[in-house]
């Protein structure tokens, strides 16, 4: 563990309760045809969605921003415990799936380890997502932590879209 990893303990965390059963919420996160309906920032349109759900597998997607710009990203799965937990590394990518720098900051970490836990109770499902940057410089760690409020806003919009999708599913 290098010095910067010791400081990456400050995680971004978001929790949301959905009025939907555990199995359905988990499927919304793990089936390409469902992800196309809700994944991404509000106002973005899904252009491409490929999913290989297995450890080492990749969710690779392309989205179009309201201004017409394309943005690509990927998750590389480390752990899948259906329907309880997903662990994956999130990165921005190009259309071919190569990891690239974030379009908004040259100091954004190349990789963020995300752990999403799913807990069902009486027909509702609680999701807790925890993200920590991996293999980062001190500047990248500080940039990541400085963006928590912006990330909270972005994830709130994405979770709102999931809420809307689940209500129709």
Report pLDDT for 9.
Answer: 64
pTM given for the model: 0.92
User: What distance in Å separates the CA atoms of residue 9 and residue 104, rounded to the nearest whole number?
Assistant: 23
Per-residue pLDDT of the chain (169 residues; tens, 9 = 90+): 344 444 446 999 999 999 999 999 999 999 999 999 999 988 999 999 999 999 999 999 999 999 999 999 999 999 999 999 999 999 999 999 999 999 999 999 999 999 999 999 999 999 999 999 999 999 999 999 999 999 999 999 999 999 999 999 9
One of 3.30.930.10, 3.30.530.20, 2.30.30.100, 3.30.70.1290 is the CATH number of 3-168, namely 3.30.530.20
């Amino acid at each position: 563990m290098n010095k910067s990893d010791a400081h990456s303990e400050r995680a971004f965390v978001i929790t949301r309760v959905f009025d939907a059963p555990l199995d359905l919420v988990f499927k919304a996160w793990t089936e390409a045809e469902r992800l196309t309906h809700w994944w991404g920032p509000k106002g973005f349109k899904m252009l491409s969605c490929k999913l290989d759900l297995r450890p080492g597998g990749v969710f690779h997607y392309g989205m179009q921003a309201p201004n017409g710009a394309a943005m690509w990203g990927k998750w590389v799965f480390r752990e899948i415990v259906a329907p309880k937990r997903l662990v994956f590394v999130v990165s921005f990518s190009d259309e071919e799936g190569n990891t690239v720098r974030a379009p908004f900051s040259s100091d954004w970490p190349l990789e963020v380890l995300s752990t999403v836990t799913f807990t069902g109770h009486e027909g509702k499902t609680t999701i807790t997502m925890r993200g920590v940057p991996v293999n980062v410089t001190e500047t990248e760690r500080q940039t990541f932590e400085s963006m928590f409020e912006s990330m909270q806003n972005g994830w709130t919009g994405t979770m709102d879209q999931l809420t809307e999708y689940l209500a129709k599913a």
